[in-house]
Amino acid sequence: MRSSTPRRRTIGRPRLDAGIDVRGRLLDAAVTLFAAQGIAATTGTQIARHAGITPAMVHYYFKGRARLLDAVVSERLLRTVNAVWAPVLDQGEDAPAMVRDLARRIVKAHREQPWLASLWLREIVSEGGQLRQRLLSALPLPYLRHFIAAVGAAQRRHRVNARLEPRLVFMSVIALTLLPLATVRHWGRLPPLRGIGDDEIARHAEALLLEGLSVPGAARGHAACK
């Protein structure tokens, strides 16, 4: 006979197949949806559905929206920022190489994480972005200080255009990479702009940045001496 005794409900973590990185899947779903439609328009249920996980797991791992956003910043955005920026400390004061490689790493990071540029533009750069303050308060400033100092030192050695403002060069790198990466899918609908991809954006950014960094007249003078 079937027992009439009801099963006791297990309290705690909902059951899932062993080996699934539930937290990671939820974070990946969150950044993908946040980039596509914005944080304000994204619900926990949508995140769970996109991850293929029950909505109860969102609350189990993050308790609330604030903790979820904190986790997105610390476990997705900051990891990417550190991976992109940390190598500048190993490049001494070679500012042109530093700028070139930084642009390349940003494009590479976006290629590996297609949500990166749209999320940056929507929730960090745009007014009212819900991740801006969370990220700014946690940014690793030694990388930025080293970068600015390297550009300034190269200017004093007449290796970099003296008219540039060293504190704005990193903004130029971001503007020439993340902005087109985030918007090219829209502009690409226009027939003259079709076919632009990551490689074209990276090459274009590198050319503009290195040309802008060069000392005016240096190339012509060098060519004249040959």
Q: Return the CATH number at 204.
A: 1.10.357.10
**Same domain membership, residue 85 and residue 57:** no
**Structural domain harbouring 179:** 72-225
Same domain, 50 and 111: no
Residue 1 lies in a domain: no
Domain count, the chain: 2
- Asked, for residue 6, whether it belongs to a domain, the answer is no
Q: What is the per-residue pLDDT for 93?
A: 80
Based on the domain organization, do 28 and 140 belong to the same domain? no
Is there a contact between 61 and 22 (Cβ–Cβ < 8 Å)? yes
Q: Residue-wise pLDDT tens for the chain (226 aa)?
A: 444 554 444 444 555 544 579 999 999 999 999 999 999 999 999 999 999 999 999 999 999 999 999 999 999 999 999 999 999 998 878 999 999 999 999 999 999 999 999 999 999 999 999 999 999 999 999 999 999 999 999 999 999 999 999 999 999 999 999 999 999 989 889 999 999 999 999 999 999 999 999 998 765 444 333 3
Residue with tokens 């940056």: 120
**Final residue belonging to a domain, choices 63, 89, 121:** 63
124 and 213 part of one domain: yes
Q: Distance between CA atoms of 145 and 163, rounded to whole angstroms? A: 19
The helix (run of H) or strand (run of E) holding residue 36 is helix 22-37
- Tally of residues, the chain: 226
Q: What is the dihedral of CA 127, 130, 136, 137, to 10 degrees?
A: 140
220 and 197 co-located in one domain: yes
